[in-house]
Structure 1
Amino acid sequence: MSTPLYRSNRCAALLLSGVAGATLASAATAEVPSVATDIAPVHGLVARVMEGVGEPALIVRPGASPHGYAMRPSEARALQDADAVFWVGPELEPWLAETIDTLAQDAAVTELLEVSGTETLEFREGATFAGHDHEDGHGDGDDHAEDNHDEEDHDDHADHAEDDHDDHAEADHDDHAGHDHSGIDPHAWLDPENGKAWLDVIATELAALDPDNAEAYRANAAAGRDEIDAASDAVRARFAEAGTPEFVVFHDAYHYFENRFGLAAAGAISLSDASDPSPARVEEVRDTVRDLGVDCVFSEPQFDQRLVQTVLDGTDGQAAVVDPLGFEIETGPGFYPALIEAIGTEIADCAS
């Protein structure tokens, strides 16, 4: 039978062993970079590359607009603790640029719109899109650094999901006054070819920070590319079956998706930064919906739904929901291909 002293010594040994094991586990975990990402689609790409190694933090919570956002303390801490930051860039989130400079001074920061291999498109200006056709040309992601995209009014749009916008439809200000909408459309994650290119960039950056896991990062990126290809094939098959509808979007966020899959939105209620549209713009979009016999006007969870009903008044179109940020999709490694498929399904369903 064990003596009390033996049991005491054994318990102490087990405790010390547990502490040592926890210390070793902490040391191993510490070698994996702490990573912060801006929006759910980017988080999904980084999570895919880090699968089995670590998990990135998400700064802009699901359901909120990235065009203007007030971070929670926990999100600010995640940014402050980051060894690496992946974000779209100031064209999408002008509020985040200075915050990164302040909180993540020592982090390796990657602006995805800037990286080689990113294919970019210019902003579309009008409420309705000239010629009602899609573009075949892409710009170069390295060229856009000189473009000036003044976003001084974005503070008014922080976290649209929680605002009532009681006076939204009655806004009488000049449409997008004070905004310079020349330059690069920042919604580049909606081109799956960009998603594939970004997987490689993310893997390369993380491998440089964490050589011990470099092979895992690269293998995960390769598997992620295959999954994006499969999602793109599924979208094309869905459109081949259902056809392509005439549609209008809430804000001009889908240019990249349209361009990649041969679609053509008839117009957008709001501009690419989701700034409040003027009454004249809303009326122009409503005329387009009526004149073209538009099938669907797509709203988004982040923004005022009443404007969609205003545009549909007196027309035969129907309201539907499409979300460039995938609010209802579970975050994590499978997020990005699920987002591409979901948008394709939502648009195709309007045609069937």
Structure 2
Amino acid sequence: MLPFLSNVASLIWFILFWGTISGLANFASAGAEAEPRVVVSLKPLHSLVANIMDDIAVPDLLITRSRSPHESALKPSQAQKLQKADMVIWIGPELESFLASPVQSISRTAVNFQIGRLFTSNLHHDVPKIDTISSYAKNRDSHVWLSPQKAKIIASKIAEKLSKIDPQNGDLYRKNAKKIIVKITLLERDLTKKMSKFKDHNFLVFHDAYSHFTRYFGLTDPIVATIHPMVRPGASKIRSLQKAIQEKKIRCAFTEPQVEYHLLDTIIDSLPVHITELDPIGTKVPPGPEAYFQILNNLAVSFSHCLDRNSLN
């Protein structure tokens, strides 16, 4: 019996030993996952969040490919990210309409941080139908990150939100926010100098996505081909645009990576207008902490190269 008892004792000791090791491993794993899991919809917002979460965790980017947020559809891999999220950061249904329902269902336990609510008090939280989208989007340019001033507000508010769900890293979030605000201020000064020579230049944009940029840097309000990229201009609108191009002596028109060039070609027809691409969400910019600064710098370069042609009039 003694050998048998000895074997039993050894087995019990073995179970207890590995149970302890397993428990310590699980504890260590839990500690490693203590940082908040943050999902961000768009690359420029993701860049701001990545800076604020520096040395803490890496946020997940939801829209990674060169698709317009207006026309995206939720994929299984994106749904998994939302399901695991502690916080979801997005503009709101006026821009990423495909996220409106998933955020309420898949991510219902996560903090739902809609950046758009920081800058408007009369947001509609329903998803517009295609036949009403023009009136829904009117005066609702939701590309708020294109204003450096608003980007600094966004960074500060994100740090506040993160500090609430992860108070142990609150000081670091706030410290990182201060760093990126200083960096945005330096960018702001540089772009102000670059844009100052184009304040009286007229130009055309495909859709109303740049008011936060143009108004902040004192550019003229552009002629807008369509209020929303999902609404194509009709024949009457095209004729009025062509008339405006001639009257205002416009020599520069801007399209976007997701917009087919022939749509602007139809408007411009044989008029002497140069077409340049603007990329407000950074579809061609690598994601990461530097993406926001590259996006705004690229916009300034594109504006400068195209608007310089107006100086030849």
In the superposition, relative to structure 1, how do residues 19 and 256 fare at CA in structure 2: closer, same or farther (>3 Å)? same
In the other structure, the counterpart of 2:83 is 80
Deviations along 1:263-311, one digit per CA (max 9) or x if unpaired, are 1243112213542221222222222222222121111001221111122
In the other structure, the counterpart of 1:68 is 71
In the superposition, relative to structure 1, how do residues 265 and 149 fare at CA in structure 2: closer, same or farther (>3 Å)? farther
Structure 1 residue 204 and structure 2 residue 178: aligned?
Answer: no
In the superposition, relative to structure 1, how do residues 25 and 303 fare at CA in structure 2: closer, same or farther (>3 Å)? farther
Greater fraction of residues in helix: 2
Cα distance in 2 for partners of 1:342, 1:69 equals: 24
Structure 1 moving runs of 4+ over 4 Å:
18-25, 147-150, 176-179, 241-244
In the superposition, relative to structure 1, how do residues 225 and 269 fare at CA in structure 2: closer, same or farther (>3 Å)? same
- Give the secondary structure class of the aligned counterpart of 1:31: coil
The alpha carbon displacement at 1:183 in A equals 5.6
In the other structure, the counterpart of 1:113 is 116
Which residue of the other structure, out of 225, 230, 233, is the alignment partner of 1:277? 233
1:152 partner letter: K
In the other structure, the counterpart of 2:122 is 144
RMSD between superposed Cα atoms in Å: 2.7
Higher relative contact order (CA 8 A, sep 6+): 1
- Tell me which structure has the larger Cα radius of gyration: 2
In the superposition, relative to structure 1, how do residues 272 and 231 fare at CA in structure 2: closer, same or farther (>3 Å)? farther
Contact 1:235 1:345 in 2 (8 A): no
Contact 2:86 2:110 in 1 (8 A): yes
The alpha carbon displacement at 1:29 in A equals 2.8
Cα distance in 1 for partners of 2:134, 2:294 equals: 36
The alpha carbon displacement at 1:100 in A equals 0.4
Structure 1 residue 239 and structure 2 residue 195: aligned?
Answer: yes
In the other structure, the counterpart of 1:268 is 224
What's the % identity of the aligned pairs? 27
Deviations along 1:302-339, one digit per CA (max 9) or x if unpaired, are 12211111222221110101111111211111111222
In the other structure, the counterpart of 1:251 is 207
Stretches of structure 1 that go unaligned for 5 or more consecutive residues are 1-15, 119-140, 155-175
Cα distance in 2 for partners of 1:90, 1:258 equals: 23
In the other structure, the counterpart of 1:35 is 38
The alpha carbon displacement at 1:177 in A equals 7.2
In the superposition, relative to structure 1, how do residues 186 and 177 fare at CA in structure 2: closer, same or farther (>3 Å)? closer
Contact 1:290 1:316 in 2 (8 A): no
Contact 1:242 1:349 in 2 (8 A): no
In the superposition, relative to structure 1, how do residues 314 and 149 fare at CA in structure 2: closer, same or farther (>3 Å)? farther
Stretches of structure 2 that go unaligned for 5 or more consecutive residues are 1-18, 309-313
Q: TM-score, normalised by structure 1?
A: 0.75
In the other structure, the counterpart of 2:307 is 351
